[in-house]
Amino acid sequence: MSSTLHRRRLVFPLAAASAVALTLAGCTGDIAAENAGDADCSDYEAYGDFTADSPEVNVYGTIVEVEADRLNESWIDFETCTGIDVVYEGSQQFETQINVRAQGGNPPDLAIIPQPGLFASLARDGYLQPAPEAVESNVDEFWSADWKAYGTVEDEFYGAPLMASIKGYIWYSPSFFEENGYEQPESLDELMTLTQQIADDGVTPWCAGFASDAATGWPGTDWVEDMVLRLSGPEVYDQWVAHEIPFNDPQIVEAFDAAGDILKNPEYVNGGHGGVESIVSLPFGEGGLPILDNECAMHHQATFYEGFWPEDTNVAEDGDVWAFLTPPAEAGGENAVTGGGEIVGAFTDSEEVVAVQTFLSSDTWANNRVSLGGVISANSGLDPANASSDLLSSAVETLQSENTVFRFDASDLMPAAVGANSFFKGMVDWIGGDSSEQVATFIEGSWPAS
């Protein structure tokens, strides 16, 4: 999904979030000033003392609005204690502009990059600095080998992960399930049995929305990715992403068909919105809302969807909505999940840049940021209790578990011509009536020759 994870999350802000953004945008500097002198600097001594020169480090990324303000707040104590002024710039044109700036000789000091494919391209083109030893040490301590691999290009380590999200959650109403005797399924077969049971009881089982401006179709890619990982396993998933098997390999077509058993069945979708054809035109942020009125029973979307429920919605196991992970192919199977995240890359090499980059790879920063709400990280030094909801705490525990097989969102790992173009368009055509084989073959034909 998420070459533009933060953009997709934030171009659909809640009214309340917008109001907070306006307030925080004008007061972040005030917060820093008020907190200066209140910081316990013992956690920051290792980064050095730059107060004599007060250097500036520029950071560029996709994170905007409320989350940008929280990002700025996450390093206030670091700035106070080290004397480094961290200046963040967020842009919804990041993916294009970072290449323009790098090629034009005007890159930021650091970039928060949400696509491993883009990160690798910048490294191969010689724009990124290899990561300092202190950053690699943090990553070896706090992240799994899978996560480290996303910041490694041609056996050279360039950058540490930052935040994360988990895909493949299935949102539902606990009270609706309890009243009707429905139980969380433990396998994909049980999920389909539950789907049919809900339909037989007279409720449309699923709701979905694929619309997202130029990125329309990306929620469908998440469905396919989940099915590839669960039905064929991580090895096939990796082969698919690396184009070691073609996009129209029978195992990938099987995943499309498995998703289509739900999304293309008019008896199963699109509760509260219309029929199958309504999926493409429905904004993804509105997709799951009919759950609150029992007009549909389930909605497939990531952890960040928590922010799209109305402000007074109680997200809890016994609340208005809750979520469980898409189950494995067989009950008791390995806990495999897809997700997204960011990697921090450095374009310049100076002591102050190294200090900021090292701090962002630390457990101190992860706990600072997650405590402010709305996000999670796969950093093993993060206390799950610092997450802003029970759901996010559970997601942190899933990411940290040695028993979890994590794979980054496939569309983010694929070449942009596929992952952010033909894969999205293919999902639209698929909902429109094209077969799984047709769509997979169309996408295969768009794969760059080199």
The pTM of the full predicted model, rounded to 2 decimals, is 0.85
Of the candidates 281, 273, 291, 270, the one whose C-alpha atom is nearest the C-alpha of residue 217 is 281
In a domain, 410, yes or no: no
pLDDT tens-digit series, residues 20-74: 333 333 344 444 444 444 789 999 999 999 999 999 999 999 999 999 999 999 9
User: CB neighbours (10 Å) of residue 247?
Assistant: 22
How many domains are contained in the chain? Answer: 2
Angle at 16 between CA 12 and CA 21, to 5 degrees: 80
Q: Give the strand pairing for 296-301 and 169-172.
A: antiparallel
Tell me: pLDDT of 16 over 50: no
CA distance 298 to 169: 10
Residue type present at position 36 = A
In a domain, 332, yes or no: no
Q: Judge if 185 and 263 occupy the same domain.
A: yes
Residue type present at position 222 = D
Q: Judge if 385 and 313 occupy the same domain.
A: no
| Full residue range of the structural domain in which residue 128 is found | 5-166+342-400
Q: Judge if 214 and 226 occupy the same domain.
A: yes
Q: Judge if 294 and 421 occupy the same domain.
A: yes
Residue type present at position 193 = T
pLDDT tens-digit series, residues 335-379: 899 999 999 999 999 999 999 999 999 999 999 999 999 899 999
Region 236-255: what's the mean pLDDT?
98
3-state secondary structure the chain: CCCCHHHHHHCCCCHHHHHHHHHHHCCHHHHHHHHCCCCCHHHCHHHCCCCCCCCEEEEEECCCHHHHHHHHHHCHHHHHHHCCEEEEEECCCHHHHHHHHHHCCCCCCEEEECCHHHHHHHHHCCCCCCCCHHHHHHHHHHCCHHHHHHCEECCEECCEEEEEEECCEEEECHHHHHHHCCCCCCCHHHHHHHHHHHHHCCCEEECCCCEECECCCHHHHHHHHHHHHHHHHHHHHHHHHCCCCCCCCHHHHHHHHHHHHHHCCCCCCCCCCCCCCHHHHCEHHHCCHHHHHCCEEEEEECHHHHHHCCCCCCECCCCCEEEEECCCCCCCCCEEEEEEEEEEEECCCCHHHHHHHHHHCCHHHHHHHHHCCCCECCCCCCCHHHCCCHHHHHHHHHHHCCCEEEEECHHHHCCHHHHHHHHHHHHHHHHCCCCHHHHHHHHHHCCCCC
CA distance 77 to 227: 43
How far from each other are the two terminal CA atoms of the chain, in whole angstroms? Answer: 23
Residue 93 has which token pair? 């044109």
In a domain, 335, yes or no: no
Torsion angle (degrees, nearest 10) of CA 313, 178, 219, 18 = 0
In a domain, 93, yes or no: yes
In a domain, 236, yes or no: yes
Q: Judge if 176 and 272 occupy the same domain.
A: yes
Q: Judge if 10 and 150 occupy the same domain.
A: yes
In a domain, 66, yes or no: yes
Radius of gyration of the chain (CA): 22
Q: How far is CA 266 from CA 145, 146, 195, 211, 340, in A?
A: 42, 39, 12, 19, 30
Q: Judge if 115 and 32 occupy the same domain.
A: yes
In a domain, 155, yes or no: yes
Query: What CATH number is attached to the domain comprising 70?
Result: 3.40.190.10
Widest CA span of the chain, in angstroms?
A: 72
Q: Judge if 175 and 65 occupy the same domain.
A: no
Tell me: pLDDT of 126 over 70: yes
Q: Judge if 139 and 177 occupy the same domain.
A: no
H-assigned helices in 111-217: 116-124, 133-142, 145-150, 174-180, 188-200
Region of residue 184 (phi > 0: left; psi between -120 and 50: alpha; otherwise: beta): beta
Q: Judge if 306 and 197 occupy the same domain.
A: yes
Grade residue 403 by pLDDT with cuts at 50, 70 and 90. confident
Q: Judge whether 56 and 87 are in contact, CB under 8 Å.
A: yes
pLDDT tens-digit series, residues 293-344: 999 999 999 999 998 999 899 999 999 999 999 999 999 888 899 999 999 9
Residue 221 has which token pair? 């890619």
Q: Is 295 helix (H, G, I), strand (E, B) or coil?
A: coil
DSSP state of 348: S
pLDDT tens-digit series, residues 285-295: 999 999 999 99
CA distance 99 to 62: 14
Region 175-194: what's the mean pLDDT?
98
Q: Judge if 290 and 421 occupy the same domain.
A: yes
Q: Judge if 154 and 258 occupy the same domain.
A: no
Grade residue 402 by pLDDT with cuts at 50, 70 and 90. confident
CA distance 407 to 225: 9
Q: Judge whether 106 and 97 are in contact, CB under 8 Å.
A: no
Grade residue 416 by pLDDT with cuts at 50, 70 and 90. confident
Residue 123 has which token pair? 């490294």
In a domain, 409, yes or no: no
